[in-house]
Chain A
């Protein structure tokens, strides 16, 4: 089974797995995010078009107000 890693959690990879699919699979409903795939920044307007490969390392950072 092919997998990817999202915030150090290993999940199954699937065909045409884009960022929106990953966020749904992780139940991440946050709005303000910074996302990096294999060290590369993925902006919000690229979530749909960014397809991840098996073995990808995805980092999702949720920015919360307060400061």
Chain B
């Protein structure tokens, strides 16, 4: 498959914008794996993804991995899966635990940052680090995506360059993972917002 064939269903006017874009994704779990797949299919030029975790059986209820990938680092499995979809996105993956020190270094060249963590502590750390280091670059976060149903509560809140997708009210119950449909919806709200910011010239 050549590049022309891959992009044959795209609006020709948007391909060059997508192909020159660099998007950062922090986390390669339920949100991150779904976001990366959508942005790869959309034809983003480069994705930078970091996660330190390995795939466990409990991840398969919502994360875009397969039974034969259990035990493999998530970023490695994701890279394998993304390359099966398209080689017209460049992938830079980091098997690393993100923190205040390495985030500004790893993601310094991105046009838009996406928060795709599971734990609230990590979400807060990333957003604070981002707003401190790159106040003029957009960051798209997710909050409130546990449980099922309640489509009508999902929304995007915009606070300057910070975008929050989710219902902002459904807390995760201890020991219970979010489920594929709602995680997938919110992940794709985040990915959809990336396209809006890039293509509607909001950057």
By DSSP majority rule, is chain A's interface helix, strand, loop, or mixed? loop
How far, in angstroms, from A63 to B141 measured CA to CA in the complex?
9
Classify chain A's interface size.
10 to 19
Instruction: Give how many A-B residue pairs fall within 8 Å (CB-CB).
Output: 78
Question: Closest approach, in angstroms, between the C-beta of A59 and any C-beta of chain B?
Answer: 5
Total chain B interface residues with beta-carbon distance under 8 A: 37
A64 and B131 form a contact (CB under 8 A)? no
Contact, CB under 8 Å: A66 / B159: no
Most buried by B among A41, A59, A64, A67: A67
* Residue A61 is within 8 A (CB to CB) of chain B in the complex: yes
Set of chain B residues within 8 Å of A43, measured between Cβ atoms: 128
Q: Once bound together, how far apart are the Cα atoms of A59 and B159, in whole Å?
A: 8
Q: Give the B-binding residues of A (Cβ under 8 A).
A: 31-34, 36, 39, 41, 43, 59, 61-67
7 contacts between A and B (CB under 8 A): A32-B121, A32-B124, A36-B159, A41-B128, A61-B168, A62-B168, A66-B178
